[in-house]
């Protein structure tokens, strides 16, 4: 398995975090010929960037005025969205106590200032290789082979971790259950190979419409999909559900026995406090959304209800 064929180093994003402009420029000049580099000048800026963009590796200064490097690393490792990002500390002094502190907050490695360009580059390559290998194995385990979306294994193994995180933050989880309208008739009319292509097209439309990094799109089974939206309210979930219905309709995938001669979807949605979902292990939230999906189908399909 050649991981560089999956994602070359030139496409791997290294976030350089240092409050000193000269240090940022130096590190960037060393790494930019090999990796795609982004810089942040504070711990706060780094955390915001990671939550939205999930870089492949973080090169982190230990001593910063707003939030020190140890706290930044600890925060990254506590979130399921950023916990797998390798963190390498850059430090000018490292006693035994500081070294132990690096490992305790989940660091992957550390390098000493002044940095050796070759050593730094090779260490980053090693940790990115490990990350890519882990992601590849997870893709094989947690993704549906036909559509590339998350599968039911991901739902049962990983989603509870995300829900617990949202519950700790005292926020909500939105769920949208989706069903392709008259899909059996589509298969009967066009054949199962075309049916598979239709599933792939609809999956891509859903995935492209649901854009936040924390959101999860899951192939629930057959022609059913589940979208889970952390940190959202009722109105936000309703808007996403309506956008999904409109996006599939606007794609104008031909369906001779569908609504207005094209493929459409029905969607049902529900929003719960994440703390209530933790107690019930998400099944009641999904069932709530499924009831609304049934209502959408009963009312004529090609619509969202919640």
Is residue 145 domain-resident? no
Q: Above 60 in pLDDT, residue 276? A: yes
Tokens of 245: 């219905």
CA dihedral sign of residues 38, 41, 43, 49: negative
Phi, psi (5° rounding) for residue 63? -110, 105
Task: pLDDT band for 52, please (50, 70, 90 cuts).
Answer: confident
Same-domain check for residues 128 and 179: no
Closest CA to 37 of 64, 61, 9, 72: 9
Scan for tokens 């933790």, then name that residue: 278
Phi, psi (5° rounding) for residue 30? -70, -40
Closest CA to 267 of 229, 231, 213, 230: 229
Q: For 216-231, how does the pLDDT look when each residue is reduced to its tens digit (9 = 90+)?
A: 999 999 999 999 999 9
Q: For 174-207, how does the pLDDT look when each residue is reduced to its tens digit (9 = 90+)?
A: 999 999 999 999 999 999 999 999 999 999 999 9
pTM flag (> 0.85): no
Q: What is the CATH number of the domain that holds 98?
A: 3.40.50.2300
Same-domain check for residues 98 and 203: no
Q: Above 80 in pLDDT, residue 38? A: yes
Partner residues linked to 254 by β-bridges? 262
Angle CA(80)–CA(204)–CA(55) in degrees, nearest 5?
A: 35
Let me know: does 294 contact 304? Beta carbons within 8 Å. no
Look up the domain containing 214 and give its range: 152-305
Domain boundary pick from 94, 118, 140: 140
Residue 270 has a pLDDT of 96
Q: Identify the burial level of 86 via C-beta atoms within 10 angstroms of its C-beta, where 0-12 means exposed, 13-18 middle and 19 or more buried.
A: buried
Is residue 298 domain-resident? yes
Q: Above 80 in pLDDT, residue 3? A: no
Residue 158 has a pLDDT of 85
Tokens of 304: 């969202």
Pairing of strands 304-305, 265-273: parallel
Same-domain check for residues 91 and 228: no
Q: Mean pLDDT across the stretch 153-165?
A: 88
Is residue 146 domain-resident? no
Task: pLDDT band for 280, please (50, 70, 90 cuts).
Answer: low
Task: pLDDT band for 1, please (50, 70, 90 cuts).
Answer: low
Residue 2 has a pLDDT of 56
Q: Mean pLDDT across the stretch 238-255?
A: 96
Same-domain check for residues 16 and 91: yes
DSSP state, residue 92: S
Residue 33 has a pLDDT of 94
Cis peptide before 114 (omega within 30 of 0): yes
Which of these is catalytic: 194, 223, 224, 260?
Answer: 223
Same-domain check for residues 66 and 21: yes
Q: What percent of the chain has pLDDT above 70? A: 98
Domain count, the chain: 2
Q: Is 223 a catalytic residue?
A: yes
Q: For 88-127, how does the pLDDT look when each residue is reduced to its tens digit (9 = 90+)?
A: 999 887 788 888 888 999 999 989 888 999 999 999 999 9
Task: pLDDT band for 279, please (50, 70, 90 cuts).
Answer: confident
């Amino acid at each position: 398995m050649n991981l560089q064929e999956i994602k070359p180093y030139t496409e791997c994003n290294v976030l350089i975090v240092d409050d000193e402009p000269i240090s940022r420029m130096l590190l960037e000049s060393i790494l930019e010929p090999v990796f795609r580099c982004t810089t942040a000048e504070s711990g706060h800026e780094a955390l915001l960037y990671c939550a939205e963009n999930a870089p492949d590796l973080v090169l982190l200064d230990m001593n910063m005025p707003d939030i020190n490097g140890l706290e930044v690393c600890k925060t990254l490792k506590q979130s399921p969205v950023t916990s797998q990002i390798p963190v390498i500390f850059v430090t000018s002094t490292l006693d035994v106590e500081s070294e132990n502190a690096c490992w305790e907050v989940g660091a992957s490695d550390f390098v000493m200032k002044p940095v050796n360009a070759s050593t730094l580059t090779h260490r980053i390559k090693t940790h990115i290789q490990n990350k890519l290998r882990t992601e590849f194995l997870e893709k094989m385990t947690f993704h549906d082979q036909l559509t590339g979306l998350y599968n039911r294994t991901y739902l049962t193994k990983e989603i509870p971790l995300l829900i617990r995180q949202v519950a700790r933050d005292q926020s909500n989880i939105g769920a949208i259950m989706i069903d392709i309208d008259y899909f059996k008739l589509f298969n009967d009319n066009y054949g199962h190979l075309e049916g598979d292509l239709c599933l792939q097209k609809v999956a891509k439309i859903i995935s492209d419409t649901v854009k936040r990094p924390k959101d999860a799109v899951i192939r629930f089974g057959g022609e059913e999909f589940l979208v889970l939206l952390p940190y959202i309210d009722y109105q936000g979930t309703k808007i996403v559900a309506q956008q999904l219905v409109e996006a599939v309709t606007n794609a104008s995938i031909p369906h001779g026995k569908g609504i207005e001669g094209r493929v459409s979807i029905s969607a049902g949605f529900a929003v719960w406090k994440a703390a209530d979902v933790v107690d019930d292990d998400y099944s009641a939230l999904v069932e709530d959304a499924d009831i609304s999906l049934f209502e959408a189908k009963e009312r004529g399909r090609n619509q969202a209800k919640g």
